Amino acid sequence: MDEKNKNISIGGFKLKTEQKGTSVDRFNEIAEKVRDKLFKYYKPNDILIDLNKKGREYVYAMCSEKISKIVRDGEVEIKDIPTSRLIESIVSEITGFGPIEQLLNDDYITEIMINGPEKVFIEKGGEILPTDISFESEEQLKRLIDKIVQPLGRRVDESSPLVDARLPDGSRVNVIIPPISDYPVVTIRKFRKDIFRRDDLIKLGSLDDKTADLLNLFLKARLNIIVSGGTGTGKTTFLNFLSTMVPSKERIVTIEDSKELQLKQPHIISLESRPPNIEGKGEIVIRDLVRNALRMRPDRIIVGEVRGAEAFDMLQAMNTGHDGSMSTIHANSPEDVVSRLIAMVLMTGAKLTEKSIASMILGGIDLIVHLYRFEDGSRKVGFIGEFIEDSESELGIKFIPFVEFKRTGIDEKGDVIGNYNLVYPARKLRCYKKMELHGIKFNEFDRGKDYEKK
């Protein structure tokens, strides 16, 4: 076989290195005919109702029996294609998620990107890779989309061509269809079933032992922490990791657009926003939930991500004694966090100057943990630092890094390597006084001297 036409196996499926063959086309054509016949006996919506009420095994048996009868009666000529293969393909689409079922079941895949029926990409190990998986037609892809959104009372059509949804396992789904796009596009951010813990992140090189120990001290001192970073840097994953260090005796309220945080403490209240229904009513936004959380006597409030007007309420909470709060924000640099938060607060229509909002940021946020994603796909803590007053800047605020990842090169495997270094003495941190109020001192840390050197 020509080297460039080899299929390279990646975790149970193959990278796409050659065009779809005629045998695959013929199977897809016959499967489509059998499916059409099946849908004459059982309407797709009725099957979905049975699936929700009676379960997958019932629907699988029902459809398998009918497909076998269609083939036996010669309603569709299948030639040399095994009936069992047709049943598995068709019924797995009906009861599961068809061509992408195996991708959803692969725990190492973090993202699935469907660009029309013939192009399916995945993110695995931080890399975006093409696969040999495809849909038989655009209609099959549309059926998958309907299956995702219908149980949620949502719809996708020309009048509503984009939607956010969630799979039963919690994975986030974004769908966009023509005329907004050239073809249906589905992006699935998979829901990780287990939390990355300290040893996992250290093994991945996302942080080191000393940095993990420091973060534990910051959590014990109830510092208000914002995890920032660009797209795909692992902000939610890192927020989940930080949550593992929150004491079990605390009452924690989590607020999210779609549930991704996986706190294991016994006293958790999870709140989730709700989109409007088909009539455009019933919407509950993150800001509503943040306001309500303040009345729930929380020890900590954790907002999955601030992206709008809720930033104002979160900053107010942080400035009025709700210590230990945490959230994530999309920002390309720690300095960018300030401009992003200012823009979000101004969305509320509040009659505040940018400088007064910067003052709220300075008073409310104790610590910034900024994440980077490198070219090898690795995600690392780039900076840990805080905001300080700066009379020379226009807004009167400046970011000072405390710990910084210093890149030293690339190893023989192509992985980015480096070290975590102190770039600002711990005893000079603004939050140092707050830590002492909570009885946390760096000299209690067995490697504290490493962090106190000038």
Tell me: do 356 and 439 sit in the same domain. yes
Half-sphere exposure of 321 (CA within 13 A, CB side): 3
Tell me: do 299 and 359 sit in the same domain. yes
β-pairing, 172-176 vs 367-373, is: unpaired
Tell me: do 208 and 131 sit in the same domain. no
Q: Kindly report whether the peptide bond that precedes residue 99 is cis, defined as omega within 30 degrees of 0.
A: no
Note down pLDDT in tens along the chain; length 454 residues.
343 333 333 333 444 433 444 566 778 788 888 888 888 888 877 887 777 788 778 888 888 899 999 989 889 888 888 888 888 888 877 777 888 988 998 888 989 999 999 999 999 877 899 999 888 788 889 888 988 887 777 778 888 898 888 887 878 899 999 999 999 999 998 877 778 889 999 998 999 998 998 899 899 999 999 999 998 899 999 999 999 999 999 999 999 987 888 888 999 999 998 877 767 788 899 999 999 999 999 999 999 999 999 999 999 999 988 899 999 999 999 999 999 999 999 999 988 999 999 999 999 999 999 999 998 889 999 999 999 999 888 999 999 998 999 999 999 888 999 999 888 666 677 888 888 888 887 654 444 444 443 3
Tell me: do 299 and 179 sit in the same domain. no
Tell me: do 168 and 296 sit in the same domain. no
Tell me: do 245 and 313 sit in the same domain. yes
Tell me: do 160 and 222 sit in the same domain. no
Of 320, 325, 323, 319, nearest to 302 (Cα)?
Answer: 325
Domain carrying residue 70: 3-189
Residue 127's DSSP bridge partners are 124
Q: What CATH number should be reported for the domain holding residue 175?
A: 3.30.450.380
- Could you give the maximum distance between any two Cα atoms of the chain, in Å? 85
Number of domains into which the chain is organized = 2
Tell me: do 149 and 264 sit in the same domain. no
Write down the pLDDT at residue 24. Answer: 66
**Alpha-carbon torsion angle 30, 85, 123, 264, nearest 10:** 130
pTM of the model: 0.77
Domain edge (last residue) among 189, 212, 228: 189
Write down the pLDDT at residue 12. Answer: 39
Of 205, 174, 156, nearest to 111 (Cα)?
Answer: 174
Domain edge (last residue) among 138, 164, 189: 189
Tell me: do 10 and 157 sit in the same domain. yes
Of 285, 243, 292, 238, nearest to 263 (Cα)?
Answer: 243
Tell me: do 162 and 216 sit in the same domain. no
Tell me: do 185 and 257 sit in the same domain. no
Q: Are 329 and 337 in contact (CB under 8 A)?
A: yes
Query: How far apart, in whole angstroms, are the C-alpha atoms of residue 286 and residue 292?
Result: 10
Phi, psi torsion values for 268, nearest 5 degrees? -120, 135
Tell me: do 419 and 290 sit in the same domain. yes
